[in-house]
Chain A
Amino acid sequence: MNSAMDNLLTDNIKRRNRTNTRLKYIIIAGAVITVVPIFLIVGNLALKGYRQINLAFFTEPAPDTFQAMMAAASGEVIPGGIVNGLIGSLLMVLVASLVSIPLGLMTGIYLYENGTKRYANFIRSLTEILQGVPSIILGIIAYLWVVKNITRGYSALAGSTALTIMMLPLIIRSTEETMKMIPVTIREAAFALGAPYYKMIIKVLIPVSFSGLATGVLLALSRILGETAPLMLTALGNPSVSLDLTKPVSAVPLLIWDFYNDPNMVNLVWSASLFLMIFVLSMNLLSRSIASKHKYI
Chain B
Amino acid sequence: MPTVTIDGETIDVSGDKPLLQECLNMGTELPHFCYHPAMSAPANCRQCMVEVGTPVRDRETGELKLDDEGNPEIQWMPKLMTSCTVQVTDGMVVKTHRTSEKAKRGQKDTLEFLLINHPLDCPICDQAGKCPLQIQAYKYGPEGSRFEFRKVHKPKRVKLGPRVTLDAERCINCTRCTRFTEEISGSCQLTISERGVKNYPITMPGQPFDDPYSMNTIDLCPVGALTSTDSRFKARAWEMSRTPSITTLNARGSNCYYMVRDNLIMEVVPRQNMQVNEYWLPDEERVGWAYERFNDMRPAHGPELRSDGELTPVSWERATDAASKALGAVDPSEILFLGSAHATVEDNYLLKRLAEALGADAPRYIPHIDAGHDDDWLRTDDRTPNAQGCERLGIHPIDADVVRSRVEAGEIKAVYVLDDDPVGAGLFTEDQLDDLIVVLHYYNTTNQTLPVTDVALPAAMVVETVGTYVNDHGHAQTVRPAKTIKEVNRTLMMATGKSRPDMHGTPFDRWHNDDNQVDCLPGWEVLPMVAAHLDIDLSYKGPKAIMAEVSEENPAFAGATHEAMGLQGVRLEDVGEPA
Do A and B pair up? The answer is: no
Question: Which residues in A have some Cβ–Cβ distance to B below 8 Å?
Answer: none
Residues of B within 8 A of A (CB): none
